[in-house]
């Protein structure tokens, strides 16, 4: 669900977060409206508001693992993990982790990729939160959920700063991706957004 529909309606922190995100048209490819969170990181107050909202939501949920998606999920995931007293597990792009890994392939708005996690980073039955900066097709989060579940964790929720309600891609491609992700009521404003059966919590919609 969106934070504004879940108790934070009119909360000025959401506007401060949205205002701090820069939109760069046609990056990294023509037609993509790139949501640039580096400008949010430059704004101490807006960055702190972002982390605080997540920490308030997750601090009493008995979460022992925060998994962050490379690269931008690391920037939000690590301060959240520290604040709620959980360990941080990086989900990395291929061939970056030195130990034994498990791996999941996925599709992106602008390409294909794979995520890897160290074997042994997560124990059976641990309660996990997955953090990224942005959800578009849901392919990245879908692969992340699978990695955590393969390691025996219970994924409590996925959380992102930005949710793109529509993906700028051709319709059949989008349908194929949504099918791949088994997205249920994706970006419905009423009720919960769900991704592979897991609740999805989103702070703001993209800036135009
Ligand atoms: O919902 P999806 O369609 O899967 O897209 C969302 C993902 O795309 C971006 O990462 P990207 O792969 O560009 O990597 P980066 O963070 O390393 O730049 C973004 O940070 C998310 O992880
Ligand atoms: N439009 C977008 N802006 C930033 N990151 C993205 N990842 C996938 N689509 C994106």
> pTM for the complete prediction?
0.91
Q: Which of 88-92, 179-183, 201-205 has maximum average pLDDT?
A: 88-92
Atom 21 of ligand 1: nearest residue by CA position: 134
Mean pLDDT throughout 70-82? 98
- Mean pLDDT over the full length of the chain: 88
pLDDT in tens, 12-35: 999 999 999 999 999 998 888 899
The answer to whether the beta carbons of residues 39 and 23 sit under 8 Å apart is no
- Beta-bridge partner residues of 101: 118
- Give pLDDT, residue 72: 98
* Selected residue with higher pLDDT from 44 and 193: 44
Handedness of CA 175, 180, 182, 184 (dihedral sign): negative
- According to DSSP, the β-strands at 33-36 and 127-135 are unpaired
Atom 17 of ligand 1: nearest residue by CA position: 71
- Give pLDDT, residue 93: 97
Q: Any catalytic annotation for residue 5?
A: no
Q: Predicted confidence band at 169 (pLDDT cuts at 50, 70, 90)?
A: very low
- Give pLDDT, residue 74: 98
Between 2.70.98.60, 2.30.330.10, 3.40.50.2020, 3.40.50.1100, what CATH number should domain 3-204 receive? Answer: 3.40.50.2020
Strand, helix or coil for residue 99: coil
Report in angstroms the alpha-carbon separations of 185 from 35, 198, 199.
Answer: 23, 11, 10
ipTM over 0.85: yes
- Give pLDDT, residue 191: 56
Q: Is the CB of 157 under 6 A from ligand 2?
A: no
Domain extents for the chain?
3-204
């Amino acid at each position: 669900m969106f934070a504004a529909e879940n108790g934070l309606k009119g909360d000025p922190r959401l506007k401060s977060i949205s205002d701090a995100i820069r939109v760069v048209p046609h990056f990294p490819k023509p037609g993509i409206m790139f949501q640039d969170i580096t400008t949010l990181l430059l704004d101490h107050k807006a960055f702190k508001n972002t982390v605080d909202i997540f920490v308030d939501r997750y601090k009493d949920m008995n979460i022992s693992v925060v998994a962050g998606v490379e690269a931008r999920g690391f920037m939000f995931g690590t301060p959240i993990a520290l604040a709620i007293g959980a360990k941080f597990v990086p989900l990395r792009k291929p061939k970056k982790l030195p130990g034994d890994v498990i791996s999941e392939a996925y599709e992106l708005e602008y390409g294909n990729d794979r995520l890897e996690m160290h074997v042994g980073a997560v124990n059976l039955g641990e309660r996990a939160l997955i953090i990224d900066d942005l959800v578009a097709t849901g392919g990245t989060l879908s692969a992340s959920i699978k990695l955590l579940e393969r390691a025996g964790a219970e994924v409590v929720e996925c959380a992102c700063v930005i949710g793109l309600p529509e993906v700028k891609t051709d319709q059949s491609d989008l349908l194929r991706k949504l099918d791949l992700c088994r997205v249920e009521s994706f970006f419905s404003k009423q009720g919960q957004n769900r991704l592979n059966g897991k609740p999805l919590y989103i702070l703001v919609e993209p800036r135009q």
